[in-house]
């Protein structure tokens, strides 16, 4: 499997409507849109680890 790249994670997060139903964490996508600069690295690591462990 090809490595995950930040642009893929960015596109996936920003393709979700901001007020769609929240995920299991209880947060709407607007949280991730607004705080992208703060959450991008931990979120990228989470996604990358998910696909490569």
pLDDT in tens, 2-50: 899 999 999 999 999 999 999 899 999 999 999 999 999 999 999 999 9
Q: pLDDT-based confidence at 53, cuts 50/70/90?
A: confident
pLDDT at 44: 98
Q: Is residue 30 part of a domain?
A: yes
**Half-sphere exposure (Cβ direction) of 8: Cα atoms closer than 13 Å:** 9
Q: Is residue 1 part of a domain?
A: no
pLDDT at 1: 83
Q: Is residue 13 part of a domain?
A: yes
pLDDT at 48: 96
How far is 21 from 27, CA to CA, in rounded Å? 8
How far is 51 from 53, CA to CA, in rounded Å? 6
When divided into structural domains, the chain yields a total of 1
Q: Is residue 25 part of a domain?
A: yes
CB 5 within 8 A of CB 52: no
Domain of 37, in residue numbers: 6-51
């Amino acid at each position: 499997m090809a490595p995950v790249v930040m642009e893929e994670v960015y596109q996936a997060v920003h393709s979700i409507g901001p007020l769609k139903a929240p995920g299991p964490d209880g947060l709407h996508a607007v949280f991730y849109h607004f705080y992208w600069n703060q959450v991008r690295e931990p979120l990228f690591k989470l996604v990358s680890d998910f696909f490569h462990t």
